[in-house]
Chains A and B, each alone.
Chain A
Amino acid sequence: MTGQTNTAANKKMLAIVFSVVILLSMGLGVVAGAQYFSPSSLNVTQLLPAPKSLPEFSLENHRGQLVGPMQFKGQWSLVFFGFTSCPDFCPLELQKLAKVLALNENRELLSVVFISVDPERDTREKLAGYVSFFSPGILGLRGGNGELAKVAQFFGAAYDRSVIIDGKVLTVPAGINMPTNAGDIYQVNHSTRIFLVNPAAEFVGTFAPPFEAETLLADMQQLMGR
């Protein structure tokens, strides 16, 4: 009788141990999987809590065609706001983004979009020469100040322009045309962030400099491979 009780107790213990081992293994699997697939393993990219569909807009590309959110469908896009008269910062960033494009093997899966927030100085021809200088894979966009401000505001890309007129500094906010007497020497203060749009034309994340092309590419490969 005692022997039978012991055997039953042993079986019960064995079942508990097995259950604990199975539960632990499942838990470990979930943790490891979460680690592997979680955004925290990205180097420089910060993902939004939920994707945001691009709003309706109409901008002109550097080839003279009107484009809207559909332009972003079908490939990942790295979006950067700047201006072509920027002597130092914009070329530095575009050069790194061009390097990301050059290092990326799946060319059709990734594009770079440069949106000029200085339409008065950045004509279509100037924009075309500018983006092509860095990479044929960069798309330049320009447009009216109101439309540009709407797109920039959607991404949270702050910018304004400042000019000295009659010895006084005048700040021209996003969305407002430059005064006709502003001349062609003025400052554009713009966002340093790069905005990430997925192939469903949804804004999904951002990253800010400093970054290296290789680390950004590693992030993009991880996101594109999901």
Chain B
Amino acid sequence: MSSGISVFYRNKYLLASFFFLLLSQSAHADLVVESAWVKLAPPAIQMSAAYMKLSNQQQQVQVITQVSADCCASAMLHVNKVQGDKVFMEHLDQLSIPAQSSVDLKPGEVHIMLMKPRIPLVLDTPVRITFTFSDGSRQSVETLVKRDE
């Protein structure tokens, strides 16, 4: 009997740990990433940009607080703003992807600016972009350098 109870308790703890793990996994930020690419920059230009569609299928908002790229000294989230006839870039401290919706990073709008590449970003160069979320979790996206057609 006592061994039966201990097995039950052991299983109960196992079960609890399993559910805890499941919950903690689902609480981690995790985006569905589609159509990710890095724009091929003209020769000798030390700037480029990455684009993709980020979808949040979770029930809560996911907030990107930092972005980095393995190819480059610096990566930043930027948005183009037009004021009157003038266009300027604005740095985004964070990017929120609301629950059950998506955000398109596309030319002329929100983009990831890539600065000072450490390697030549020629056609088909693989680039890994890593997002850090407000909960401290991270997610990496593998992309390739493509020509903007």
Contacts and interface: CB of A to CB of B under 8 A. Distances in A.
Interface string B54-82: 00000000000000000000000010101
B82 A87 contact: no
B4 interface: no
Interface string B34-59: 00000101111111110000000000
Interface residues of B, number: 26
B82 A192 contact: yes
B87 A89 contact: yes
Interface residues of A, number: 29
Interface in A65-85: 84-85
A213 B82 CA distance: 20
Interface of B is mostly: strand
Contacts of B84: 158
Interface string A109-136: 0000000000000000110011001100
A159 B108 CA distance: 18
Contacts of A193: 85
Contacts of A85: 45-47
B97 interface: no
Contacts of B44: 125-126, 129-130
A88 interface: yes
A20 B78 CA distance: 65
Nearest to A158: B86
B43 A129 contact: yes
A162 to B, nearest CB: 8
Contact of A189 (B42, B87, B115): B87
Q: Which of A91, A126, A129, A157 has the most CB of B within 10 A?
A: A91
Contacts of B48: 87
A167 to B, nearest CB: 15
B114 A87 contact: yes
A95 interface: yes
Contacts of A28: none
A185 interface: yes
B110 to A, nearest CB: 9
Given A84-B42, A84-B45, A87-B113, A190 B86 contact: yes
9 contacts: A87-B49, A88-B111, A92-B107, A129-B44, A129-B45, A130-B45, A133-B43, A189-B86, A189-B87
Interface of A: 84-89, 91-92, 95, 125-126, 129-130, 133-134, 156-159, 185, 187, 189-193, 208-210
